Amino acid sequence: QITLKESGPTLVKPTQTLTLTCTFSGFSLTTSGVGVGWIRQPPGKALEWLALIYWDDDHRYNPSLKNRLTITKDTSKSQVVLTMTSVSPLDTATYYCARRSISLVHDYWGQGTLVTVSS
Amino acid sequence: QSALTQPASVSGSPGQSITISCTGTNSDVGGYNYVSWYQQYPGEAPKLIIYDVIYRPSGVSSRFSGSKSGNTASLTISGLQAEDEADYYCSSYRSTLYVFGTGTKVTVL
């Protein structure tokens, strides 16, 4: 059974750095072709793809946010960490992590975690 | 990066068929057969219902079908049911990156 779960702060102040952790089970991030991505959804708005890290440590970022994002993985802990710097209220959203399968699709998703950016 | 374009809303009566379009460019939808569709209920995470344009994951109703023509992908829901009322998002691979659609709210009349 594949599961993913996001964790992190629920409230962050503007200009601070947001760190989110995705803890997964049921698959390995050492399997060729597999990745873990992050997607966010502001309240009442559409999904926005943020970042992806692959089994071989390669990574990709949304060009619109590239300078603010860092994605890393700890294979031994089955975790992927997303860091976002200089947050603003525009970053208020539910953040999801999802497995990127070898079929190039985000097939399994976590339940999401709501992060509010406010002073 | 620009999102894929979907109609904001689509509605239909029970039993009818509806189609949701997802328009991109030849750099994403038109360039790859890696279009997926997600169903999302309020307060829940998205659920994959179509991948690689036409394939359904195990357990997804056969009432959902996908297709693509040029830069536009489509999701068709046949035999519309009350439980199909939800938000639907398309997604496409875009040259090592990914992009989502603007989302469509499906209302069952």
Residues of A (63-102) whose Cβ lies below 8 Å from B: 63-64, 96
- Please, which pLDDT band fits residue B96 given cuts at 50, 70 and 90? confident
> In this complex, is the C-beta atom of B60 within 8 Å of any C-beta atom belonging to chain A?
no
Model confidence over B12-54: pLDDT tens digits?
Answer: 999 999 999 999 999 999 999 999 999 999 999 999 999 999 9
Predicted pLDDT at B55: 98
**Nearest-neighbour CA in chain A from B34: distance (Å):** 7
Count CB-CB contacts under 10 A for residue B109: 10
Rounded CA separation A100/A22 (Å): 13
The CB-based long-range contact list for A69-76 (8 Å cut-off, 24+ gap) reads: A71/A38, A73/A29, A73/A36, A75/A28, A75/A29, A75/A30
Task: Give the residue carrying structure tokens 């953040």.
Answer: A95
- Please, which pLDDT band fits residue A66 given cuts at 50, 70 and 90? confident
Instruction: Look at strands A11-12 and A113-117 and give their pairing.
Output: parallel
Of B47, B52, B100, the CB nearest to A46: B100
Model confidence over A91-115: pLDDT tens digits?
Answer: 999 999 999 999 899 999 999 999 9
User: Is A17 in contact with A3 (CB distance < 8 Å)?
Assistant: no
